[in-house]
Amino acid sequence: MTVPTHVAIIMDGNGRWAAQRGWARIKGHKAGVQAVERILEAASDEGIQHLSLYAFSTENWKRPPAEVAALMALLRMYLRMFVHQLARKGIRFQHLGDLRGMPGGIQADIKTLEEATAGNTGMTFHLAVNYGSRLELAQAARRCVEDGLRPDQVDEAAFGDRLWTAGVPDVDLLIRTSGEHRISNFLLWQSAYAELYMTDILWPDFGPAALKEALEDYAQRERRFGGI
C-alpha cells in the first residue's frame, strides 16, 4: 500500500461532540487531545513521516475568551506531558505558526519541546498553533525582501524555503473531520496537489481505524500532479 509521506489533519468537531453529550465545549477539546495522542501513535506505526495537526488558527482568537484560555491551558499541559510519548516513539516535534503572537509561557514550552525532541529520527509531528496560511505566505514574501532577493530570484524554491514548513515535503493527504468541506486557511501552498479526504466522524471519535480507512482510500487514488 502506498503510504503518504505527509498527512495533514484539520481536527474539527470537538464542540459538537461535547454538545451531543450535553457537555461544555472544553470537554470536547479534552477528548480531542486524547484523540491526538492516539493518532500520533497510529500515524507513526503506519510509517507516515510527517503529520501536521491544526490545533489553533490565527482566526481562533475570535472565540470566547474563556474557550481560548482553556485551549491554551490544554496546550501547555499537552506540551509538558507528552514529551514522554514523543520520546518513546522517536517522534520529533515542530511548531507551525507565528510563535511571537502567543503567550510567553507557551512560546517557551514549544521551544523546550522542539529542542528536547530535535534528535529524534522517527515521524515529525508538526503542531499548528496560531497558524494561518495567508500570514505564512505574507511573511515569506516579506522575508524574500528582507533577504535582498532580486525579483528574478523569487521562484517557488526560494519562496518555499521561507515558509514555516521549509524543508518539509508537500502534503500528500489532507483530512478534515466532522463533515465540513473547507480548507480553512491551512497549508494552502503545501497542499497544492494534496488528495482531500473528508469524513463525518467528529475529531474526538477519529481513531486508528478511521486513519487506516483514510490511508486505504488514499492508496486507491491516482495522482497525476497536473500531468496525464
Has 161 been annotated as catalytic? no
Amino acid at 132: G
Residues 135-194 that bind ligand FPP (CB under 6 A): 178
Give the containing element (helix H, strand E) for 198. Answer: strand 195-198
Which CB sits closer to ligand FPP, 11 or 210? 11
Q: Is residue 43 involved in binding ligand FPP (CB under 6 A)?
A: no
Residues 86-125 that bind ligand FPP (CB under 6 A): none
Give the up-direction half-sphere exposure of residue 162: CA atoms within 13 A in the CB hemisphere: 21
Q: Is residue 33 involved in binding ligand FPP (CB under 6 A)?
A: yes
Q: Is residue 128 involved in binding ligand FPP (CB under 6 A)?
A: no
**Contact pick of 7, 8, 26, 29 for ligand FPP (by CB under 6 A):** 29
Most distant CA atoms of the chain, gap in Å: 57
Using DSSP, state whether 175 is helix, strand or coil: strand
> Are the beta carbons of 79 and 106 closer than 8 angstroms?
yes
Using DSSP, state whether 56 is helix, strand or coil: strand
Instruction: Please tell me what DSSP assigns to residue 223.
Output: -
Has 60 been annotated as catalytic? yes
**Contact pick of 14, 117, 165, 199 for ligand FPP (by CB under 6 A):** 14
Active-site choice (45, 60, 155, 185): 60
- Kindly state the smallest distance separating residue 74's Cβ from ligand FPP, in Å: 5
Listed in order, strand segments (DSSP E) in 11-138 are 50-57, 92-96, 124-131
Active site residues: 12, 60
Binding site for ligand FPP (CB under 6 A): 11-16, 29, 32-33, 36, 55, 60, 74-75, 78, 127, 178, 203
